[in-house]
Structure 1
Amino acid sequence: MAVKLQIKSRSGRDILPDGLLLPSNATVEELRARFAELKPKYPPSRQRFTLPPREGARSGEALANGKRLSDYGLADGSVLYFKDLGPQIGYATVFFWEYLGPLLVYPLFYLAPRLLYPGLKAPEKSVVQNLALAYWSFHYVKRLLETAFVHKFSHATMPVFNLLKNCAYYWMFAAYVAYFVNHPLYTPPPTRRAVIALAAAMLCQFANFRCHVILANLRPAGTKGYVVPRGFLFNFITCPNYTAEILGWVCFTVATQTAAAGLFTLVGAAQMAQWAIGKHARLRKTFDGQEGREKYPRRWIMLPPFF
């Protein structure tokens, strides 16, 4: 049995006047593939299909790969809304370039002070500057290795513009922080304080890594859908990976005693807070305890006991 779907733009214009014919048991992937055949300029990675919005809602539920049309109650004559997501690029590619930049930019200020601080005599590097470089480099090497071997992305691609935006954020902040930490006139804080702070930051890095491994192992191969994260800090916090990341940079700020590192930490924390709020709300909505579904446990969102 086949069904004919009406595909409209968000403004209500018919994109396929003759509709789109598919088997009633077709998957969302098959829908995307068939649409790409009829509209070759929109490959599956650029497609976003949503159901008509419910009363009072601004937008409808987005169709997810791995599900069938019947899972959404789609039948002959049903309407779907299409949005072009624009040119896409792989998540792993974006992560690689945004993390490689800081790994290359920061050491330039450490290694080439005569070039980057003209007219200033560069004294011998302090212990704090040496440790700051080591911590910074470790962090971004860790991120690159996690991108290659740990992370599992729920979406294969993102808009190409994100590559420029993310690289600008990471690369420019790397230069901003490195400029002040490695400045010839930089006055380091007490070495003992810096060592203790960076030791604590390293513990945060290992906690962050442990959280990423747990997240990567949440859904074994062949399984789909959200799962309540459990184990380690997930028993108390929805986003302990963000918590550990932020606390690590707080420790780095204490160790280097620079406003630049503090601003970098603050901006990153603000962005992660937005992601954490969204993830917490999504998990609570998915696991609402209704109709046999598990109820999401009571947990801090991020940075207990404040958030």
Structure 2
Amino acid sequence: MARPMWIRYRWSFDCYAQCRVAYKLQDWLKKTSTISDVKKQYQLKKKSAYPSRQSYRLEPKGKSLKDEQTLNSLGLRSGSKLYFKDLGPQVGWSTVFLTEYFGPLVIYLIFYVRPSIIYGADAADQPRDIAVHIAAACWTFHYAKRLLETIFVHRFSHATMPIMNIFKYICVQVLNVLTLFSVFTSAYLLPSTEFGNAQLYGGLAGFLFAEYGNWRIHMAFRNLRTPGTKERRIPNATGDPMTILFNLVTCPNYTYETIAWVSFSVMTQCLPALVFGVCGFVQMAIWAKGKHRNYLKEFKNYPRGRKAILPFLI
């Protein structure tokens, strides 16, 4: 039997803080043991630290190590140190996304079907402009699409995320729905757009185009990863014309998402929708830049001419 490899671990709840030696793991870890094995061994010491809330790094500010990486491949020897961070209570990505998308879908439709709840008893008798009906259909389509993609399309590289994020997403989405409805109060009585049908249906066309493009990009990302694995490959344009944006940006799904919200704002002439879209773009740009940097570090042959989210700009 191979001689056990003793690894001395340093830990801290904040990996950027000054770490201190907490204990010495002397379990039967071998050179071929993986980070996943380390997590399981640590859980034996601390029952509440289930594997998905553990993160290990070679340096305090380093990148989290992957579960499948072996101690030998990381150059760890007897007496080597790993930096540990407790990620806190976790929740599955699918649960987060289902909660984030189901909430605004249901709330919007309740207020649309029963306008008296927010607009008063006489609201049901008021004439509704066609923009209100089209906006409700687009909203329903957008979030129903997201729910279906979460269930049938997305393959997540990380199984969980911090549980507090679920409350953040719920608050943001509920605030967005209520803001939109505060503006749609006048939409029951006023013309839908200043420039008539050209603005309304032009915005609708842009919205549907962007939603279709977003779906095709999600399918392309799905096909990059073999089911049941966490492998990462460079995304490239396929034979689908909607994936041409891969030649220009790393995250074209975010690009299409931005186009969809701008088109929705033009279609409804709704300023809060545009504000929400801008805030969403800022967050997506942060995510896109992070993913772009990771691709550049991970793949030496990653196309250097690509931007993160906006062609030639960002």
- 1:273-300 deviations in Å (ceiling 9; x for gaps): 1011111111112223xxxxx2434213
Once residues 66 and 298 of structure 1 are traced to their aligned partners in structure 2, the CA distance between those partners, rounded to angstroms, is 31
2:204 is the alignment partner of 1:198: yes
Does structure 2 retain, via aligned residues, the 8 Å contact 1:252–1:261? yes
Cα–Cα, structure 1 residues 155 and 222, in superposed 2: closer, same or farther, change >3 Å?
closer
Residue 179 (structure 1) aligned to one of 179, 182, 202: 182
Distance 1:102 1:80, change over 3 A: same
SS in 2 for 1:72: coil
How many residue pairs align between the two structures?
297
Change (3 A) 1:9 1:255: same
Match of 2:222 among 216, 222, 225: 216
Corresponding residue for residue 34 of structure 2: 27
- Verify the 8 A CA contact 2:9 2:25 in the aligned structure 1: no
Note if contact 1:91-1:158 (Cα within 8 Å) is conserved in structure 2.
yes
Residue 188 (structure 1) aligns with: 192
1:102 aligns with 2:109: no
* Residue 254 (structure 2) aligns with: 242
Amino acid at match of 2:148: L
Out of 38, 41, 45, the residue aligned to residue 48 of structure 2 is 41
Query: How does the TM-score come out when normalised to structure 1?
Result: 0.91
Residue 186 to residue 30, structure 1, CA distance change in 2 (3 Å): farther
Structure 1 contact 5–76 (Cα < 8 Å) conserved: yes
Higher deviation after alignment, 216-225 or 140-149: 216-225
- Give me the whole-angstrom Cα distance separating, in 2, the residues matched to 1:17 and 1:237: 46
Name whichever of 179-188 and 263-272 sits farther off: 179-188
Separation in 2 of the partners of 1:212 and 1:175? 29
Q: What is the correspondence of 1:1-307 to structure 2 with a 5 Å cutoff? A: 1-10=3-12, 11-53=18-60, 59-118=61-120, 121=123, 123-183=126-186, 184-189=188-193, 190-221=196-227, 224-231=230-237, 232=243, 233-288=245-300, 294-307=301-314
Superposed structure 1 runs of 4+ greater than 3 Å apart: 17-21, 119-122, 182-187, 221-225
From the superposition, tell whether residues 142 and 277 of structure 1 become closer, same or farther in structure 2 (CA, over 3 Å): same
CA–CA distance in 1 between the matches of 2:67 and 2:221?
20
Gaps of 5+ in 2: 13-17, 238-242
Aligned residue for 1:3, secondary structure, equals coil
1:230: how far off? 0.6
Partners in 1 of 2:305 and 2:263 — Cα distance?
28
What's the CA shift for 1:185? 4.6
1:105 Cα offset (Å): 1.1
Segments of structure 1 that go 5 or more residues without pairing to the other structure are: 54-58, 289-293
Report the secondary structure of 2:23's partner residue: coil
Partner Cα separation in structure 1 for residue 25 and residue 213 of structure 2: 55
Q: Which digits, 9 at most, give the CA deviation of each residue in 1:210-229, with x for residues without a partner?
A: 00011111122465543110
SS in 2 for 1:215: helix
Q: Which moved more, 1:230-239 or 1:206-215?
A: 230-239
Structure 2 length normalisation: TM-score? Answer: 0.89
d(CA) in 2 for partners of 1:18, 1:237: 45
